[in-house]
């Protein structure tokens, strides 16, 4: 649809509008009671969430790509139907294809409490089947208020079982990574990708002082990010998830990424709501799985 078509069908006076953004990608601007957000229809990706009177909770690289076939560095990319490298070793893109395809607007609504809901959809077609040979219906419910709620809903619309891993790959903005801690993972086992996949056990809060890429398992429903550099605490609440990923590229890897400034690693931390590692989801025909994340200041 054109921006004019989207506006006629889905705009909400004073609450939701459409515009052309970087790379001529269509953006949705949401203003709700309690906060505002920006969503890219390309990738179905929340790029910004700002509670009223506060600064952005999400990190978005100033050098991000806005182009077909490229992932947008920051916000909440959707990794689906697999997280990480191609699980079958067929050379398919890392983190699947949902983060590099256009999504459709299915519904917009202002809720009775002043929050605004946006429902996006991604359906299978010949292109997706050529990459992943399964029938599915994928939806994303995004609710903006004083917190941000994102739900990724997968339905198996085919005739055979399929198994997936997935992530809401959230980039959080922090004041200083060396003054940031993640609480709630004490005692959890994690797969340390920086140590060749060795399984370790977290002791105390997670502090980042070098490149980190970890899949935590058996995770609780609530994690917190203590962002001392901005004197705030961000709560990350999840449902439908038994794992979480913590990632920071640190200096050398950040320098090697053209869509990330060399010192951006100091201003970001990924705390991802996932079904990853051993936390896989198998859906029989007709079954539905809902992965949910709620972000708010604590």
Contact by Cβ (8 Å): 182, 151: no
- Is 107 assigned a catalytic role? no
Q: b vs e for 241-268, b when ≥16 Cβ sit within 10 Å of the residue's Cβ? A: bbbbbbbbbbeeebeeeebbeeebbbbb
Contact by Cβ (8 Å): 169, 76: yes
3-state SS assignment for residue 24: helix
Active-site choice (95, 134, 237, 272): 272
3-state SS assignment for residue 50: strand
First to last CA, the chain: 39
Torsion of CA 112, 118, 119, 120, to 10 degrees: 180
Query: Which strands sit side by side in the sheet containing 288-297, from one edge to the other?
Result: 104-110, 116-123, 136-144, 148-156, 288-297, 232-239, 222-227, 180-183, 206-207
Q: What is the DSSP letter of 100?
A: G
- Is 272 assigned a catalytic role? yes
CA distance 26 to 44: 10
- Find the angle CA(13)-CA(14)-CA(20) to the nearest 5 degrees: 85
Q: b vs e for 211-237, b when ≥16 Cβ sit within 10 Å of the residue's Cβ? A: bbbbbbbebeeebbbbbebbebebebb
Q: Beta strand pairing status for 288-297 and 232-239?
A: antiparallel
Active-site choice (169, 178, 226, 292): 169
Nearest to 50 by CA among 292, 234, 247: 234
Q: Residues with catalytic annotation?
A: 169, 272
């Amino acid at each position: 649809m054109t921006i004019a078509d989207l506006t006629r069908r889905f705009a909400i006076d004073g609450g939701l509008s459409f515009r052309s953004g970087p790379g001529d990608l269509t953006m949705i601007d949401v203003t709700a009671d309690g906060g505002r957000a920006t969503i890219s229809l390309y990738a179905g990706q929340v790029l910004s969430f700002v509670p009223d009177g506060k600064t952005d909770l999400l990190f978005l690289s100033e050098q991000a790509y806005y182009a077909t076939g490229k992932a947008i560095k920051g916000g909440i990319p959707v990794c689906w139907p697999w997280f990480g490298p191609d699980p079958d070793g067929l050379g398919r893109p890392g983190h699947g294809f949902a983060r590099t395809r256009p999504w459709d607007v299915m519904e917009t609504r202002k809720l009775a409490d002043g929050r605004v809901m946006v429902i996006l959809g991604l359906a299978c077609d010949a292109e997706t089947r050529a990459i992943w040979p399964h029938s599915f219906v994928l939806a994303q419910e995004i609710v903006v208020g004083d917190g941000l709620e994102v739900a990724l809903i997968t339905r198996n619309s085919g005739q055979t079982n399929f198994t997936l891993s997935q992530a809401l790959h959230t980039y959080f903005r922090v004041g200083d990574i060396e003054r940031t801690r993640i609480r709630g993972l004490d005692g959890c086992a994690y797969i340390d990708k920086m140590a060749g996949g060795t399984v370790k056990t977290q002791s105390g809060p997670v502090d980042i002082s070098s490149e980190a890429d970890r899949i935590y398992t058996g995770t609780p429903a609530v994690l917190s990010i203590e962002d001392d550099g901005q004197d705030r605490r961000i709560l990350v609440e999840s449902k439908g998830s038994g794992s979480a990923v913590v990632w920071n590229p640190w200096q050398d890897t950040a320098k090697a990424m053209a869509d990330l400034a060399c010192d951006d690693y100091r201003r970001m931390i990924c705390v991802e709501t996932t079904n990853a590692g051993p936390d896989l989801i198998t859906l029989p025909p007709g079954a539905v799985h809902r992965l949910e994340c709620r972000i708010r200041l604590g």
